[in-house]
A and B are shown apart, each in its own frame.
Chain A
């Protein structure tokens, strides 16, 4: 009987730990901006409905967004972006899945800015590529936020740019991401 009591206690504790540990943080309103600087024009687009989740227990991060949710100043440009370049009817989403090593302070959610090297797979336009980028996670008053900036070579993702607009669209597009995470579940 004693053994049962002991086992029961251990089991309950284990389960409680599994349920209580708050390692996952999610956002549904992440912001991703891309910026293309070309000789003839600068193009900027913003997506404010980006989904992202981080797991601090094992250093995993994932991002999921709808291509159609990118908003351009010129609606016609937005149509071209979806129809001719990213072909969003065929490839509606772009995703990223990455890993990083978790610094001690971050694990315990101590206030501070944590610089991280993130490695992972970026999927755009149906093409998956390995990327490595610097990123930072900030903890302030128990809140977690993330920032990230990297360059995407349009060519790598089989996005064709016709010669007539080659001076309007940059070969390297700057991508900036901002996430304000909330505890998940």
Chain B
């Protein structure tokens, strides 16, 4: 008999307790459903130094990019350490959808026009959907309009080159993002001791110094060997400053060109001997 009493009392207390003890915030916490948590701001800009990042523009956004590369720092006081000789690239880049960006640009060096398409295939995320990396496919076509004195016949075809890249990036923590960029460059016409097709592997990263400033670096290692030994791998380091809608880059690189063919396959400066071009990228998103 007594046992039954105790049992009844326990049941009653338990059911009252159940209601009283629960904190409303705990209830809400358990009601919160897991969602796909897409990693934000893997990179702030569509460029790391000269090369593209996985970043695409959102639908309807238009980005205007002005990039400069001055002459070589080691050219001395006569050339004002390179600042006398500047080359510039303008480009307009537009988000057709959230994943597809198209751009056109013109680089004053070798008077190159270029156009590209970029498509975001994977997005790094956690939560309901776990994706370790972001992946963007990139293809560009560039047309040189300056006559090349090395070629006796320099028709339209010989001025065209193509670049295809698979950009794979991961944000490891809130400070550090890393990108791999397997790259294929096809040049329609080259000199005898050069290769038409060049494979390269781009490696780059971004290290945040504070909420708005980061240190960026990029290196393109050419996997295809050429007899012509005058070209070097492209190497660049830079500081990136981001203020709502603007991204500024202050770059130091051994590459003169800002078009993929130019900086990936035809960089002629030796970074460690001081053949460094100071330059900047300014980007504004409308």
Does B230 reach chain A (CB closer than 8 Å)? no
Stretch from A31-39, A53-61, A132-140 that touches the partner: A53-61
State the interface size on chain A (CB cutoff 8 A): 42
Min distance, Cβ A89 to any Cβ of chain B, angstroms: 5
CB pair A62 B174 closer than 8 Å? no
CB distance from B35 to the nearest CB of A (A): 7
Given contact pairs A11-B8, A18-B19, A84 touches B28 in the complex (Cβ within 8 A): no
Complex Cα–Cα for A51 and B24 (A):
11
B residues within 8 Å of A by Cβ?
1, 4-5, 8-9, 11-12, 15-16, 18-19, 23-25, 27-29, 31-33, 35, 37, 40-41, 58, 61, 98, 174, 211-212, 243-245, 285
Contact status A76-B285, CB under 8 Å = yes
- Contacts known (A80-B244, A164-B244, A165-B243); A66 close to B35, Cβ less than 8 A: yes
Q: Which residues of B contact A69 (CB under 8 A)?
A: 35
A-B contact count (CB 8 A): 87
- Contacts known (A83-B40, A168-B244); A75 close to B61, Cβ less than 8 A: yes
Check A51/B28 contact, CB under 8 A, given A14-B12, A162-B243, A168-B244. Answer: yes
Closest to B31 in A: A51
Inter-chain contacts of A84 with B (CB < 8 A): 211-212
Contacts of B174 in A (CB 8 A): 89-90
Count chain B CB atoms within 10 A of each CB in A75, A97, A162 and give the residue with the most. A75
Determine if B28 and A52 form an interchain contact, defined as CB atoms under 8 angstroms apart.
Answer: yes
How far apart are the CA atoms of A103 and B172 in the complex, in Å?
52
Task: Indicate which residue in B18, B31, B243 contacts A26 across the interface (CB closer than 8 Å).
Answer: B31
